[in-house]
Amino acid sequence: MNLQRSSLMQSGFTLLELLTVIVIMALVYVLVPTMFFSGTSGADLRKGSRDIASGLRQARSEAVNLRRDTSLVLDLEKRSFSLSGHEKTYQLPESVELKLFTAQSEIVSEKQGAIRFFPDGSSTGGRVTVASGDRKFLVDVDWLTGKVSIAP
């Protein structure tokens, strides 16, 4: 009878062992997502680059349809942009970094610049880089055709 009782008591886990496993699982649950998903999500980067591309396409469309120069003015510090002649300002996610490469004549200040479109559809050309850490999207404007494209 003693043999049966000691074998029954040995099968199973102690409360201490169960608590240890639960604590380890809780730590993994908390730490793993922050290790892999810290910073800006890819969705924020894509959204930011698509918003800028959309604004550039709208500026080109206005320039052609209204037969007047139209610019997209980008504020790098505030992470926003607007179209010339419009009061509305479009805000980009706070977590993205912006860089602007444009014609010298379109640089307003160190933190502001523009890409201008002409009535024939051409532009001054340029590139807006939307980045977070090592990830980035390049929004390019071809100077000859005014075509706007996004490259990862």
Q: Is the pLDDT of residue 7 over 80?
A: no
| Structural contact between residues 68 and 119, judged by C-beta atoms closer than 8 angstroms | yes
30 and 97 belong to one structural domain = no
| Structural contact between residues 126 and 103, judged by C-beta atoms closer than 8 angstroms | yes
21 and 52 belong to one structural domain = no
Terminal C-alpha separation, the chain: 73
84 and 139 belong to one structural domain = yes
Which range of 22-26, 85-89, 137-141 scores highest in mean pLDDT? It is 137-141
CA-closest candidate to residue 44, choices 93, 77, 81: 93
Q: What is the CATH number of the domain that holds 106?
A: 3.55.40.10
Which structural domain range is residue 28 located in? 2-36
How confident is residue 12, by pLDDT bands cut at 50, 70 and 90? confident
26 and 46 belong to one structural domain = no
66 and 120 belong to one structural domain = yes
31 and 97 belong to one structural domain = no
**Quick one: tokens of 8?**
């029954």
The residue among 21 and 42 whose pLDDT is bigger is 21
**Quick one: tokens of 139?**
């929004």
8 and 58 belong to one structural domain = no
97 and 130 belong to one structural domain = yes
Q: Give me the number of domains the chain comprises.
A: 2
CA-closest candidate to residue 130, choices 52, 39, 72: 52
pTM of the predicted model over 0.85: no
Q: What is the pLDDT of residue 42?
A: 79
The residue among 130 and 26 whose pLDDT is bigger is 130
46 and 11 belong to one structural domain = no
58 and 127 belong to one structural domain = yes
Mean pLDDT of 121-142: 94
What average pLDDT is seen over the chain? 88
The residue among 135 and 38 whose pLDDT is bigger is 135
Q: What is the pLDDT of residue 33?
A: 63
109 and 124 belong to one structural domain = yes
DSSP β-ladder status, 135-141 and 107-109? unpaired
